[in-house]
Amino acid sequence: MIRVTTKSPEETRALAAGLAGKLDPGSVLALRGPLGSGKTCFAQGCARGLGVEERYVTSPTFVLIREYRGRVPFYHIDLYRLDPGPEIGALGLDEYLEGPGVTAIEWAEKLEGHLPERTIEVFLDSAGENAREVSIRFPGEE
């Protein structure tokens, strides 16, 4: 597991961009953490690392899923407004989770038990006004 403390939103984005630059099509990122912990900021950095113009990446809270073009497609999913259960199952997320792009899911805990085994877990938490504690766990790590 990788543990990093970032001191600004830009450092959080840079960390995510570095990770995304090493991801292959079909990669899934489960972004976990409380409200305001930096999940969307991390997703913006992932988009940058995949060649998406970051200024277009916003939280998909009200539309649930946003798709972006980069070196591979980038799918940004936000499950904040949904309850676990049939509502989430009806979204057809399998086409994203098994698709040709990289998928980042905010509030991924709502998909517990439905995420692929290859999912990379990203835990974010506030460590001050702009600082964030970021832990990244890769598949197979405890």
Laid out side by side, the sheet with 102-106 consists of 2-6, 132-137, 120-126, 28-32, 102-106, 74-78, 65-68
Q: Is the pLDDT of residue 55 over 80?
A: no
Q: For the segment 63-110, what is each residue's pLDDT rounded down to a tens digit?
A: 688 888 989 999 999 988 776 666 676 677 888 888 899 999 999 988
> Helix axis angle, 39-49 relative to 9-20, nearest 10°?
50
The overall average pLDDT reported for the chain is 89
Q: Which domains does the chain have, with CATH numbers?
A: 10-110 (3.40.50.300)
Rounded-to-integer distance, Cα 34 and Cα 137, Å: 18
Q: Is the pLDDT of residue 59 over 90?
A: no
Q: Is the pLDDT of residue 17 over 70?
A: yes
- Reported as a pLDDT band with limits 50, 70 and 90, residue 113 is confident
Contact (CB, 8 A) for 88 and 79? yes
Rounded-to-integer distance, Cα 41 and Cα 14, Å: 10
State the CB neighbour count (10 A cutoff) for residue 80. 14
Pairing mode, strands 74-78 and 65-68: antiparallel
> What is the percentage of the chain residues whose pLDDT exceeds 90?
63
Pairing mode, strands 2-6 and 132-137: antiparallel
Mean pLDDT of 11-29: 96
Q: Is the pLDDT of residue 5 over 70?
A: yes
Mean pLDDT of 26-32: 96
pLDDT of residue 3: 97
Strand partners, 76: 66, 104
Contact (CB, 8 A) for 135 and 122? yes
